[in-house]
Structure 1
């Protein structure tokens, strides 16, 4: 368990959410907040996050949408404990199970959720420079295949439930292949830093028992201007509203 001197306390969503994070371990950036912002959740629904870490994504969602019930699964005991601590700090309804997502305990395997979200490691194990901190190393490059993340998510979803997953663009083919026979109505929202640049990340939306055809949306641009010119915040208005006001990011051509 992290000691107090190993942690920092950081404000998210313009101060609506406060998170303890390891000073030297894995620290959440904007990606989990963006992931949470596109989930079409409403009060009374439930959400499961696979690999919840310290809770940045799921607690952002529970902050934005009051009246939901959250459950997180986290492999690393120190981070699972930190997610519980962050939920208590913010008085948010989150239960956390410390387990490998491929071997979930029976009690959790009996549950189904309206939404599943995930921010899996962006690199295949061994495909990135090894981080000195073990927590950060696991977060960047895990041993569990993306297909397993999708399979577990599909099993935990209620009929018509949604999966949202954020991942590097070059791993999108793996995600699409993993959804075959499990999830349908696939939609992809690319995320690009600036106009004219290739997207580095994508958010995949998929639905249990979905039948609609595949849709590839125009990229969501994160920053104003075609290049970074000064050490100041340059987010476009809709992204700034997500990060600072806890707003939802409108899914393009919502149906």
Structure 2
């Protein structure tokens, strides 16, 4: 990977940023953009993204909030290189560290961040068959348990800092169990494709030293209408503003 013929350059946020990514394998879509929009970061703060892939979430966040200090960790060398290339070509402040999140470099293990964000693999490796494409397999399942992602993420959240993630709804019990006694003020926002459909994903925000009781936010509806209507775009106004204009998407609204 790396040759131009193996890559596509795709616009995000209505053309505010352009992302190189592989033609085959894992390709960033809507989920990292939604994740980035839900992070309540402020200028001057520090951000760590675990499993940054080609950098989509971090760069979408950097495009919305100026003057952030963002570090991305990515285990796959080809994706890490693309993430740094994307940051450099978009002139956005992302420093990419190629490392397994379970074996972070010493300097990262000694640092804590205002925000830790992640889009962990959605599927349990023990419950499925590995993909023939390594990049896709690591992105969708991988060999790092969800518990490890959350353990590392919680450790890197600084005082009064936030952990924000997106994940499949059936894994919510695992996430809550892993964070119990470690982070508080947990807010969960379900994400459903359409009205009257069960949520398939959720956003979660938790805070270091947070004392507010658990809250379930109103469901984010991705598409208008009850059924798919051909090829025309059907995103709700709220989601369209995020995807096309880089708008913020508060996890509690």
* TM-score, normalised via structure 2 length: 0.97
* 1:111 aligned residue: 111
Any conservation in 2 of the 1:167–1:201 contact (CA below 8 Å)? Answer: yes
Any conservation in 2 of the 1:127–1:141 contact (CA below 8 Å)? Answer: no
Name the CA distance, whole Å, in 1 between partners of 2:2 and 2:8: 11
Cα distance change on mapping 1:35 and 1:43 into 2, 3 Å: same
C-alpha distance after superposition, 1:39-89 (max 9, x if no partner) = 111100011000000001111001110110110000111111110000001
C-alpha distance after superposition, 1:146-198 (max 9, x if no partner) = 11111111111111101001000000000000001211111100000000000
- TM-superposed deviation, 1:108: 0.9
* 2:45 aligned residue: 45
Any conservation in 1 of the 2:217–2:251 contact (CA below 8 Å)? Answer: no
Any conservation in 2 of the 1:59–1:92 contact (CA below 8 Å)? Answer: yes
Name the CA distance, whole Å, in 1 between partners of 2:237 and 2:129: 34
Name the CA distance, whole Å, in 2 between partners of 1:129 and 1:145: 15
- TM-superposed deviation, 1:110: 1.3
Any conservation in 1 of the 2:26–2:139 contact (CA below 8 Å)? Answer: yes
* 1:2 aligned residue: 2
- TM-superposed deviation, 1:10: 0.2
* 2:31 aligned residue: 31
- TM-superposed deviation, 1:109: 0.9
* 1:97 aligned residue: 97
- TM-superposed deviation, 1:144: 1.3
* TM-score, normalised via structure 1 length: 0.97
- TM-superposed deviation, 1:126: 4.3
* 1:150 aligned residue: 150
Any conservation in 1 of the 2:112–2:157 contact (CA below 8 Å)? Answer: yes
Any conservation in 1 of the 2:8–2:20 contact (CA below 8 Å)? Answer: yes
1:65-144 equivalences in 2 (<5 Å): 65-144=65-144
Question: 1:142 aligns to what SS in structure 2?
Answer: coil
- TM-superposed deviation, 1:127: 2.9
Question: 1:117 aligns to what SS in structure 2?
Answer: strand
Count matched residues: 253
* C-alpha RMSD of the superposition: 1.0
Question: 2:194 aligns to what SS in structure 1?
Answer: coil
Name the CA distance, whole Å, in 1 between partners of 2:103 and 2:45: 25
- TM-superposed deviation, 1:230: 1.4
Question: 1:130 aligns to what SS in structure 2?
Answer: coil
Question: 1:229 aligns to what SS in structure 2?
Answer: coil
Question: 2:172 aligns to what SS in structure 1?
Answer: helix
- TM-superposed deviation, 1:129: 4.6
Name the CA distance, whole Å, in 2 between partners of 1:219 and 1:40: 18
1:206-225 equivalences in 2 (<5 Å): 206-225=206-225
C-alpha distance after superposition, 1:197-238 (max 9, x if no partner) = 000000111001111100112211010000102111000001
Name the CA distance, whole Å, in 2 between partners of 1:84 and 1:57: 13
Name the CA distance, whole Å, in 2 between partners of 1:206 and 1:18: 30
Consecutive unaligned residues of structure 2, counting only runs of 5 or more, are none
Any conservation in 1 of the 2:40–2:250 contact (CA below 8 Å)? Answer: no
- TM-superposed deviation, 1:131: 2.5
Question: 1:71 aligns to what SS in structure 2?
Answer: strand
Any conservation in 2 of the 1:151–1:182 contact (CA below 8 Å)? Answer: no
Name the CA distance, whole Å, in 2 between partners of 1:226 and 1:207: 35
